[in-house]
């Protein structure tokens, strides 16, 4: 089974890292940090403020260069 291409994400992928491009939309909901998410449960834990949102999925430049060389 091959799911259909999510065209909005495809468009964002093409343009979201362009220097002069302002993408005035998003396809995801506002994200929480780990701390904010745990606060919703009422737990009192010391945790990172790590963002749970989307990040660049192309990988680190050094890793990509190493893959190309292999």
* Range 44-51 average pLDDT: 68
Count up the domains in the chain and report the number: 1
Query: What pTM was estimated for this model as a whole?
Result: 0.34
pLDDT of residue 55: 63
In this predicted structure, the answer to whether residue 70 has a pLDDT above a threshold of 80 is yes
pLDDT of residue 48: 63
Give tens-digit pLDDT for 25-43: 777 777 777 778 788 888 7
- Distance separating alpha carbons of residues 40 and 24, to the nearest angstrom: 29
Domain of 32? 7-18+27-53
Q: DSSP string of 16-49?
A: TT-TT------SSPPPPBHHHHHHTTT-------
Q: Which residues pair with 33 in a beta bridge?
A: 51
Grouping H, G, I as helix, E, B as strand and the rest as coil, residue 6 is: coil
Give tens-digit pLDDT for 3-20: 777 787 777 777 777 777
Would you say residue 36 lies in a domain? yes
- Positive/negative CA dihedral, 26, 6, 57, 16: negative
Would you say residue 63 lies in a domain? no
- 46: alpha, beta or left? (left if phi > 0; alpha if psi -120 to 50): beta
């Amino acid at each position: 089974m091959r799911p259909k291409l999510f065209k909005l994400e495809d468009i964002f992928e093409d343009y979201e890292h362009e220097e002069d491009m302002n993408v005035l939309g998003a396809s995801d909901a506002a994200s929480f940090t780990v701390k904010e998410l745990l606060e919703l449960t009422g737990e009192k834990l010391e945790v990172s403020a790590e963002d749970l949102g989307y990040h660049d999925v192309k990988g680190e430049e050094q890793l990509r260069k190493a893959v190309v060389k292999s």
